[in-house]
Structure formats: structure tokens, C-alpha cells
Amino acid sequence: MPQLLILNGPNLNLLGRREPSVYGAQTLADVEALCRDTAVRLGHTVECRQSNHEGELIDAIHAAAAAHAAGTLIGVVLNAGAYTHSSVALHDAIKGVAVPVVEVHISNVHAREAFRHHSYLSPVAAGIVVGFGIDGYRLAIEGLARRAGGA
Ligand code: DQA
């Protein structure tokens, strides 16, 4: 497995078309290109995945944790979309393993509807990046690289 996993959850495949006033005009492909460029600049390899299914996100975290235990993966950048605000299962998945997960949100969820103010992921995240647009993914990768001692 590559050294970094970028995991995007539900509806993030719609980036660029979905509420551009909130999420911007850039597409998921643009996000993934930014992540690849950032990782390569820091000397890391990266895998980008997106799923609209909670169980697939959980499976990906378990696989990432196994790679982390094997010493091949430094961490996960996770934008869980709306599952952030609803998923005890994702909370438990992250809590149950040892891989560092950085929670990212493109928008400032705290400046939006009240139901977006609570995150089930924040208490178990290694770090949180909120409200910087897609640049948040770059910041999260840089944070994980620094945390791993590589940048
Ligand atoms: C989001 C914020 C969530 O509240 C929302 O459900 C998303 C995207 C963000 O990146 O700002 O799907 O995670």
C-alpha cells in the first residue's frame, strides 16, 4: 500500500457540480491531483479513494491500519462528508486501530447548519483541518508527513 491514503466519502464525487458556492468549482479529480502533487513533493506515494458507502470507508481504514502496523503507511486523510456527523461506526473504526487519521472538511462546518457542528470523528482524529477549501487536503498531508518525521 502507498504511504498515504486519501479517503473521500459520500457525495464528494460530485465536487465541482455540487453547491459550488460552498465547495468551490474544483472537482474530485482536481483534489486528487493536488494530493498527488503534495505527496510527491514530500517524497511520499499516495492512493486516492472515494466511496459513497460507510462500510467501504470502514474497510479502507482497517486496511490502512494494517499497512500502518506493517510500517508502510504513515496515515489517512479522511473527508467523511456527512458521515462525519452521523457515523458511530466510523468513530469506532478509527478508535479501534492505531493509524493516524486527519479529518478534513472543505467548508467551515462550524459556520453552517447546527447539525454539522458535531463530529463523531474529531475525538478520534490525529488532527482536524476545516474551512480552507481543497487546500485543506494539502495541509493535512503536510501535517501527516511532519508527524512521521519526513518533512
Ligand atoms: C464536508 C462537510 C459535510 O458537512 C458535508 O456533509 C460534506 C462535505 C466538507 O468537506 O466541507 O459532504 O465534509
pLDDT tens, 71-95?
999 999 999 999 999 999 999 999 9
CA 84 – ligand 1 centroid, Å = 8
| Residue 105 annotated among the catalytic residues of the structure | yes
User: Measured from the CA of 82, which atom of ligand 1 is nearest?
Assistant: 6
101 within 8 A of 94, measured Cβ to Cβ: yes
pTM of this prediction?
0.97
User: Measured from the CA of 23, which atom of ligand 1 is nearest?
Assistant: 11
Dig out the grid coordinates for 51 from the structure.
466511496
User: Measured from the CA of 112, which atom of ligand 1 is nearest?
Assistant: 4
- Average pLDDT on 136-147 reads 97
Nearest alpha carbon, ligand 1 atom 12: 81
C-alpha to C-alpha distances, 7 to 30, 111, 113, 115, 124, nearest whole angstrom: 14, 24, 24, 22, 16
In tens, the pLDDT along 89-138 reads 999 999 999 999 999 999 999 999 999 999 999 999 999 999 999 999 99
Domains and CATH numbers, the chain: 3-147 (3.40.50.9100)
Q: Which of 23, 83, 120, 137 is catalytic?
A: 23
Pocket probe for ligand 1: among 105, 116, 121, the residue whose CB has the most ligand atoms within 8 Å is: 105
103 within 8 A of 84, measured Cβ to Cβ: yes
